[in-house]
A and B are shown apart, each in its own frame.
Chain A
Amino acid sequence: MPIWSPSPLALRRWRRFKEHRRGYHALWIFAVLLAFSMAAELLANDKPLLIYYQGQFYFPLWKSYPETVFGGDFVTEADYKDPYILEKLRQSPNWLLFPPIPYSFNSIDSQLNHPAPAPPAGRHYLGTDDRARDILARLIYGFRLSVLFALTLTLIGTVTGILAGAIQGYFGGRTDLLLQRFIEIWGSMPELYLLIIFSSLFNPSIFILIVLLSLFGWMSLADYVRAEFLRARAMAYVKAARAMGASDRAIMFHHVLPNTLTPVITFLPFRISGTILALTSLDFLGLGVPPSTPSLGELLQQGKANMEAWWISLSAFTVLVTMMLLLNFIGEALRDAMDPRKES
């Protein structure tokens, strides 16, 4: 027996998803973009990928070499932007290979012959920001951070939401009543103020942001799962399982849960895009990730501060819009594929 055999229902849905050409293509483009951004270190980095120096290969990406290895004076890590070192490394027969974009997200181009922010040119394809950092590199890293952040948050929110909704819907009665009141109280907390307070109490970091946002991100989903569980609980197959002696946990996760996942899966892309937007807006307000982190919101804020440097806001805006559009197309196709009116 195969480990994972998709049900014919799932197969039919996948087929319908594929028929939705726009969503299907969006999924592919998004997957490719994500795959590329996962390899951001190989695409945009201020360290060479490979060095051939005096008959030996060096891999500065994976190992840090002191400058003395390449004939420098310091025992600290080699600065591959330093003209003196570069000259030594390029001297025949030595050679080195840089990534297509020879800047990382936080490498400051000190040899820029134009006051920062610099417009797009051969040296920086999309120009630099006001701290002379390459925008393309920041976009690639920022895209990755946004998506990973959103995926983590969505995963946590979905699992918590399903658990809370499942407990409410399955047990009903007093449990449902109490949890529902708790959600009402919890949901009426001013999320933004809390974020502002916490960001002044702690050093802002990705971790704290994830914790804070996941404290609030599960509630909308819990409502849907609760409703689905309430519906499924009354089905005869649940009664049959109880009559058979199945435990509550087995019924919840084995019988009811697989039949309640439709709204969860349908909402996934929209949740992801919502979370990306949330992170971007927090960064834009300066409440988000620490300043050196590559973030789309921070780029947008720079664009606002430097209106004449159109390339900053335009490129950040384009990436953001593309990402939202792709996710929404995927969501749209997913919604059609899962539409219960198209079953049977």
Chain B
Amino acid sequence: MSTPLLEVDNLWAHFQGESGRIEAVRGISLAVQPGETVALVGESGSGKSVAALSLLQLLPANASVRADAIRLQGADITRLTGEPLRRLRGQQVAMVFQEPMTAMNPVYPIFRQLAESFAPEGVPGTRQDLQALRRRAVELLAMTGISDPEQRLDSYPHQLSGGQRQRVMIAMALARRPQLLIADEPTTALDVTIQAQILELLARLQKELGMAMLLITHDLPMVYKVASRVYVMRQGEICESAGTESLFHRPRHPYTRQLLASLPASHSPPRPAQAVELLRVRDLRCHFPIRRGLLQRTVGHVKAVDGVDFTVRRGETVGIVGESGSGKTSLGEAVLQLNESQGGLLFDGLDLYAADRLALRGLRRRIQVVFQDPFSSLSPRMTVEQILAEGLLIHRLESSAVGRRRRVEAILAEVGLPVEHLDRYPHQFSGGQRQRIAIARAMILQPELLVLDEPTSALDLSVQAQILTLLRTLQVRHGLAFIFISHDLRVIRAMAHEVLVMWRGKIVEQGETETIFERPQHAYTQQLLAAAMHV
């Protein structure tokens, strides 16, 4: 084998924080051959991003890195400083980050930021030079397949969509033809169909430019699609490295096996024997007025949800899929009566729109919700006991403090958290544990319908599998109905009995999960499935 392009030998990195020393990377070694795509896979906190950042010395000041060697084309880059380091960063190794919005400067147009990447000394003064620079920028943008590259040059980052921003980021990274591209979760913040496009783009450019790519991600199916070799990281160490095929089909390390087993099942759950109708949604609309001018006259509406019909039965899950902006969250909030909406909502024969304050409060107990982000959905200044007991107090379900305590303890046990944690605050828990608390907060009211708004999207794969199992158990035990909102088609397939596909506020296709996944009818559904289920 020829000399590898990048060779890392025994890399360590730690942070000196207020609460002590945190070992983020513990002696990892890896190699990337020229033109090859290598994936570094791990869950959050595994140290994969830290490892990548330390290659280019991009870690914050309280971090310290040491390594036996970091060699790029045989030359040691461990202790580069000043001008050579700058040259290394843009010219030889480039990076693409996860969040394309924050990785760009919001006050400069695209051209200025692009020009900076291939003319770091500053934009030249003469007209001809500027013209030449613009031509190069257009060329670069065109290469990334962005539409109207000429116009885009004068746009600001906020005027572009997430996918377009990521394309610009890639253009910036590729401006000086690096030999190695480090892509840190390049598609995590994007919709599925856009993800597929970006991956395709990266693969194409890689072939055209003959560069190598180090892909850092938690997304296993994506790794399977693009990488030729995989390193699996866990707690700062590499626990397994293998060719993609052999890793996915013959995993050796127990952690890799566990990760692969955490991928959601590819069949929908069995339907309950008899299902009674619980919620009927008829022609539901959420129109948010657009106001303009001094008098704030309504000039039009954003039709977040535009005429949606469906039925939820007891013990069953209705999955709602769609990309960001499709109106799926607005739909969930309309069912919860948290936003302005019109239409018909019949819950167990009761009209939610006709309900007065008191009746609505009673109904709120029966319809509960779990949100996506387990960090913002729990008030940071309340203990777990306060959070869980609040619902009991509001609905006067338990008048004695002892009784409340007993019910809080019972519900904690049911969602699989130790009872000793009652007096703790949310920040003392991991993401998965916090999501369990959020589920407990909903379950303690003994609801009949649970709206789950992307309940596992912020969680790691193995934690996601645990939460999904918990939700299924609760559903079967209590005969709960779920409205399960997600952008992740695999999760929907594993959870839902019925699926609604939403696109721009409308349902473009609905039906039994298996039917939709096996024989999608609508063009958009087909596109969505092709992008997501390509494993």
Q: Interface of A with B (CB < 8 Å)?
A: 7-9, 235-237, 239-246, 250, 254-255, 258-259, 342, 344
Contacts and interface: CB of A to CB of B under 8 A. Distances in A.
Interface stretch (B3-11, B146-154, B375-383, B477-485): B375-383
A7 B438 CA distance: 20
Given A239-B371, A244-B390, A7 B381 contact: yes
B380 A246 contact: no
A218 to B, nearest CB: 24
Given A242-B338, A244-B391, A237 B379 contact: yes
B404 interface: no
A240 B369 contact: yes
Contact of B425 (A9, A235, A244, A245): A9
B398 interface: no
A240 B361 CA distance: 13
Given A244-B394, A245-B364, A245-B394, A255 B379 contact: yes
Contact of B441 (A240, A245, A254, A259): A240
A146 to B, nearest CB: 34
Nearest to B391: A244
B121 interface: no
Contacts of B378: 237
22 contacts: A8-B425, A235-B376, A236-B373, A237-B378, A239-B338, A239-B371, A239-B377, A240-B438, A240-B441, A241-B390, A243-B336, A243-B338, A243-B367, A243-B368, A243-B369, A245-B360, A245-B364, A245-B394, A245-B395, A255-B382, A258-B381, A259-B379
Contact of A237 (B338, B365, B376): B376
Contacts of A9: 380-381, 425, 427
B18 interface: yes
B445 interface: yes
Contacts of A250: 394
A236 B371 contact: yes
Contacts of B360: 245
Given A7-B425, A258-B381, A245 B338 contact: no
A235 B374 CA distance: 11
B128 interface: no
Contacts of B367: 243
Given A250-B394, A258-B381, 12 more contacts: A7-B425, A9-B381, A9-B427, A236-B376, A240-B369, A243-B368, A244-B364, A244-B394, A245-B361, A245-B394, A255-B382, A259-B380
Contacts of A237: 376-379
A127 to B, nearest CB: 51
A246 B391 CA distance: 8
A344 B364 CA distance: 34
Contacts of B336: 243
A228 to B, nearest CB: 13
A336 B379 CA distance: 23
Contacts of A344: 427
B338 A8 contact: no
Contacts of A236: 371-373, 376-377
- Between B360, B381, B391, B438, the greatest number of chain A beta carbons within 10 A of the residue's beta carbon is seen for B381
Nearest to A5: B423
A120 B365 CA distance: 75
Given A7-B425, A245-B365, A240 B395 contact: no
A244 B368 contact: yes
B428 interface: yes
Interface in B345-387: 360-361, 364-365, 367-369, 371-373, 376-383
A251 to B, nearest CB: 10
Contacts of B425: 7-9
A237 B371 CA distance: 9
B371 A246 contact: no
Interface string B175-193: 0000000000000000000
A62 to B, nearest CB: 46
Ordered nearest first, which 6 A-B pairs have the shortest CB separation? A236-B377, A245-B364, A258-B381, A236-B371, A245-B361, A237-B379
Contacts of B382: 255, 258
Contacts of A258: 379, 381-382
A244 B360 CA distance: 10
A259 B382 CA distance: 10
Contact of A239 (B364, B369, B380, B441): B369
A254 B338 CA distance: 19
A242 B18 CA distance: 36
A342 B381 CA distance: 17
Contacts of A242: 338
A239 B428 CA distance: 22
Contacts of A244: 364-365, 368, 390-391, 394, 441, 445
Nearest to A250: B394
A342 B338 contact: no
Contacts of B391: 244-245
Nearest to A255: B379
A48 B11 CA distance: 78
A103 B380 CA distance: 54
Contacts of B365: 244-245
Contacts of A7: 381, 383, 425
Given A9-B380, A236-B377, A255-B379, A246 B390 contact: yes
A313 to B, nearest CB: 46
Nearest to B362: A245
A8 B18 CA distance: 15
A254 B360 CA distance: 21
A254 B445 CA distance: 19
A166 B456 CA distance: 33
B377 A240 contact: yes
Contacts of A245: 360-361, 364-365, 391, 394-395
A17 B381 CA distance: 19
Contacts of B380: 9, 259
B16 to A, nearest CB: 14
Nearest to B378: A237
Contacts of A259: 379-381
Interface string B234-269: 000000000000000000000000000000000000
Nearest to B428: A8
Contacts of A235: 376-377
A250 B369 CA distance: 19
A243 B380 CA distance: 18
Nearest to A10: B381
A246 B369 CA distance: 14
Contacts of B377: 235-237, 239-240
Contacts of B383: 7
Contacts of A246: 390, 394
A242 B365 CA distance: 11
